Structure 1
Amino acid sequence: MKSLVILLFLISFLLNLHKINCLLKLSLESSNENVKWTLENRNKSINIPGSVPGGVYTDLQNAGIIGDILSGYNDVLTRWVAYDTWTYTSKFNVSANNLNSAVAKLVLEGVDTVAYIELNGIPIGLTKNMFVRYVFDVKTYLKEGENKLTFNFESPIDYAKNRSRQHFAAPECVPDVYNGECHVNQIRKMQASFSWDWGPAFPSVGIWRNVRLEFFNGAVIRSITTHTEKKDTIWFLTVKVYLDTSNNIRNISGYLSVYLSVEGHSTIKIGKNVDTQTNSDGTFDVELEMNISENMIREWWPNGYGSQYLYNLLVFFTTHGDRSDREISHKHVKIGFRTIEIVEQKASLILGNDTLAGQGLTFYFKVNGHPLFMKGSNWIPSNVLPEINENDKIRIDNLLTAARDTHMAMLRVWGGGVYESDYFYRRCDELGILIWQDFMFACAMYPVDPEFLDNVRAEIQHNVLRLQHHPSIAVWAGNNENEVALRGNWYSTQAQFDKYKAEYIRLYVDNIKPIVESIDPTRRYLISSPSNGRKSEEDGYIAKNPYDPHFGDTHYYNYLADNWNLNIYPQTRFASEYGFQSLPSLKTMKTATNKTSDYRIDSDYFKHRQHSPNGYSFIESQINRHLKLNKDDPKYFEKFVYYSQISQAMSIKAETEFYRQSQADWYTMGALYWQLNDVWQAPSWSGIEYGGKWKMLHYFAKSFFAPVLVSPRLTLTENVDVYLINDRIVAIINANITVEMFKWNSFTPIKSQSYLANAKPLSSEKQFTIDLWDADKKDEIFLRFALQADGVISSPQNYIFPVPLKNAKGLRTPNIKLDVSETTAVCGNGTSFTVNLNVDTIVPFLWLEANSIDGHFHDNGFIITEPKTKVHFCTKEKINAQQLKRGITYKYYEN
Structure 2
Amino acid sequence: MTKDSIAIKELVLNNWSYKESKTTEWKQSRKDVSTTEIHADLLNNKEIPDPFIDRNERDVQWIGERDWEYKAEFQVSAESRSLSNHELVFEGLDTFATVYLNEEEILKTDNMFREYRVDVKDHLNYVGSNTLRILFISALHTARSYEKEHGKFKCFNGETSRLQVRKAQYHFGWDWGPVLITCGPYKPVKLISYNAQILDAYVQVDVDIEKQIAKVNSVVELSVSKSEKLTLEVSSPSGEIIKTISQSVDGKQVSDKFSIENPELWFPFTHGKQPLYEFKYTLNNQVITKKVGFRKVELVQETFEEQPGSSFYFKVNSVPVYATGSNWIPAHSFQTLLKNSDYTELLQLAVDGHQNMIRIWGGGYYESDLFYELCDKLGILIWHDFMFACGQYPGYPAFIETVSEEIIHQLKRLRNHCSIAIYAGNNEDYQVAEEFKLEWDPEDKSGDYSKTSFPARTLYENVFPKLVGQYCPEIPYHPGSPWGGNGTADKTIGDLHQWNVWHGNQEKYQDWYKLGGRFISEFGMEALPSRKTFEACITDPEEFYPQSQTVDHHNKADGFERRLALYVIENIKVQGLDFDSWIYATQLMQAECLGYAYRCWRREWRGNGKRYTGGAIVWQINDCWPVTSWSIIDYYKRPKLAYYSVKRESKPISLGMYRNEIKHTNEAALPVSNAGPPHDYSPVDYTIDIWGSSSKTEDQHAVLLVEIYNIATGDKIESFSKDVTLKGNSSTEVVESYPISNSIPVVVHSRFVSKHDGSIIASAADWPQPIKYLKFPSINIEHSVFDDYITLSTNKPVKGIEIILESDLFLDDNGFDLFPGDIKEIEVKGLKKSDKVQIRYYH
**How far apart, in 2, do the equivalents of 1:263 and 1:210 lie?**
30
| 1:781-826 alpha-carbon deviations (Å, 9 max, x no partner) | 21001002347965331111123222123x134344433222xxxx
Alpha carbons of structure 1 residues 434 and 56: separation in structure 2 relative to 1, 3 Å: same
For 2:801, which of 835, 846, 853 is the aligned residue?
846
Number of the residue aligned with 2:70: 88
**What letter corresponds to residue 752 of structure 1 in structure 2?**
S
1:714 aligns with 2:668: no
1:239 aligns with 2:193: no
- Asked if 2 retains the 8 angstrom alpha-carbon contact of 1:714 and 1:720, the reply is yes
- Asked if 2 retains the 8 angstrom alpha-carbon contact of 1:170 and 1:493, the reply is no
**How far apart, in 2, do the equivalents of 1:264 and 1:751 lie?**
54
Number of the residue aligned with 2:492: 550
**How far apart, in 2, do the equivalents of 1:501 and 1:796 lie?**
52
Deviation of residue 545 (structure 1)? Answer: 1.6
Alpha carbons of structure 1 residues 806 and 96: separation in structure 2 relative to 1, 3 Å: closer
1:406 aligns with 2:353: yes
1:774 aligns with 2:721: no
| 1:756-803 alpha-carbon deviations (Å, 9 max, x no partner) | 3223221112222133422211x2x21001002347965331111123
Alpha carbons of structure 1 residues 871 and 49: separation in structure 2 relative to 1, 3 Å: farther
For 1:730, which of 677, 689, 698 is the aligned residue?
698
Number of the residue aligned with 1:397: 344
Number of the residue aligned with 2:679: none
Number of the residue aligned with 2:330: 381
- Asked if 2 retains the 8 angstrom alpha-carbon contact of 1:344 and 1:361, the reply is yes
Number of the residue aligned with 2:242: 268
1:616 aligns with 2:561: yes
- Asked if 1 retains the 8 angstrom alpha-carbon contact of 2:793 and 2:818, the reply is no
| 1:310-348 alpha-carbon deviations (Å, 9 max, x no partner) | 11111233xxxxxxxxx4433101011111100112222
1:503 aligns with 2:435: no
Number of the residue aligned with 1:429: 376
Deviation of residue 679 (structure 1)? Answer: 1.3
**How far apart, in 1, do the equivalents of 2:25 and 2:59 lie?**
17
Number of the residue aligned with 2:261: 293
1:796 aligns with 2:762: yes
For 1:834, which of 789, 804, 824 is the aligned residue?
789
Deviation of residue 504 (structure 1)? Answer: 2.7
1:139 aligns with 2:130: no
Secondary structure, aligned partner of 1:890? strand
| 1:575-609 alpha-carbon deviations (Å, 9 max, x no partner) | 11110111111111111103233233333223322
**What letter corresponds to residue 28 of structure 1 in structure 2?**
L
- Asked if 1 retains the 8 angstrom alpha-carbon contact of 2:21 and 2:135, the reply is no
1:309 aligns with 2:251: no
**How far apart, in 2, do the equivalents of 1:813 and 1:48 lie?**
64
Number of the residue aligned with 1:322: none
1:40-189 residue pairs with structure 2 within 5 A? Answer: 40-44=19-23, 47-51=26-30, 52-143=34-125, 144-171=127-154, 181-189=159-167
**What letter corresponds to residue 482 of structure 1 in structure 2?**
D
**How far apart, in 2, do the equivalents of 1:492 and 1:584 lie?**
41
Which runs of no fewer than 5 residues in structure 2 stay unpaired?
Answer: 442-448, 663-685
Number of the residue aligned with 1:368: 317
114-123 or 45-54, larger mean C-alpha shift: 45-54
**What letter corresponds to residue 837 of structure 1 in structure 2?**
L
| 1:462-507 alpha-carbon deviations (Å, 9 max, x no partner) | 111111111101011110011122123278999xx99546513322
Number of the residue aligned with 1:539: none
Deviation of residue 394 (structure 1)? Answer: 0.7
Deviation of residue 685 (structure 1)? Answer: 0.5
Deviation of residue 237 (structure 1)? Answer: 0.9
**What letter corresponds to residue 625 of structure 1 in structure 2?**
E
- Asked if 1 retains the 8 angstrom alpha-carbon contact of 2:546 and 2:578, the reply is no
Alpha carbons of structure 1 residues 63 and 816: separation in structure 2 relative to 1, 3 Å: same
**How far apart, in 1, do the equivalents of 2:829 and 2:759 lie?**
26
- Asked if 1 retains the 8 angstrom alpha-carbon contact of 2:754 and 2:761, the reply is no
Deviation of residue 562 (structure 1)? Answer: 5.5
Deviation of residue 419 (structure 1)? Answer: 0.7
1:589-600 residue pairs with structure 2 within 5 A? Answer: 589-600=534-545
360-369 or 54-63, larger mean C-alpha shift: 360-369
**What letter corresponds to residue 696 of structure 2 in structure 1?**
R
Deviation of residue 86 (structure 1)? Answer: 0.6
**What letter corresponds to residue 710 of structure 2 in structure 1?**
K
Number of the residue aligned with 2:670: none
- Asked if 2 retains the 8 angstrom alpha-carbon contact of 1:169 and 1:446, the reply is no
**What letter corresponds to residue 13 of structure 2 in structure 1?**
L
Number of the residue aligned with 2:476: 524
Number of the residue aligned with 2:668: none
**How far apart, in 1, do the equivalents of 2:190 and 2:706 lie?**
64
449-458 or 661-670, larger mean C-alpha shift: 661-670
Alpha carbons of structure 1 residues 155 and 399: separation in structure 2 relative to 1, 3 Å: same
User: TM-score w.r.t. structure 2 length?
Assistant: 0.91
- Asked if 2 retains the 8 angstrom alpha-carbon contact of 1:416 and 1:441, the reply is yes
For 1:671, which of 616, 633, 638 is the aligned residue?
616
Secondary structure, aligned partner of 1:219? strand
CA-based RMSD: 2.5
1:660 aligns with 2:602: yes
**How far apart, in 1, do the equivalents of 2:82 and 2:482 lie?**
54
Alpha carbons of structure 1 residues 265 and 593: separation in structure 2 relative to 1, 3 Å: closer
Alpha carbons of structure 1 residues 579 and 191: separation in structure 2 relative to 1, 3 Å: same
**How far apart, in 2, do the equivalents of 1:678 and 1:820 lie?**
31
Alpha carbons of structure 1 residues 285 and 563: separation in structure 2 relative to 1, 3 Å: farther
**What letter corresponds to residue 234 of structure 1 in structure 2?**
I
**How far apart, in 2, do the equivalents of 1:81 and 1:816 lie?**
53
Secondary structure, aligned partner of 2:689? strand
Secondary structure, aligned partner of 2:481? coil
Alpha carbons of structure 1 residues 666 and 424: separation in structure 2 relative to 1, 3 Å: closer
1:734-773 residue pairs with structure 2 within 5 A? Answer: 735-744=702-711, 749-773=716-740
Number of the residue aligned with 1:515: 467
Number of the residue aligned with 2:202: 224
Number of the residue aligned with 2:290: 333
For 1:684, which of 623, 629, 636 is the aligned residue?
629
Number of the residue aligned with 1:324: none
Alpha carbons of structure 1 residues 770 and 80: separation in structure 2 relative to 1, 3 Å: same
Secondary structure, aligned partner of 2:416? coil
707-716 or 259-268, larger mean C-alpha shift: 259-268
Deviation of residue 612 (structure 1)? Answer: 1.5
Number of the residue aligned with 1:463: 410
Alpha carbons of structure 1 residues 442 and 254: separation in structure 2 relative to 1, 3 Å: same
Number of the residue aligned with 1:641: 583
Which runs of no fewer than 5 residues in structure 1 stay unpaired?
Answer: 1-14, 30-35, 278-283, 318-326, 536-543, 823-832
For 1:785, which of 729, 750, 757 is the aligned residue?
750
Deviation of residue 23 (structure 1)? Answer: 1.0
For 2:811, which of 857, 861, 866 is the aligned residue?
857
**Percent of aligned positions that are identical:** 28
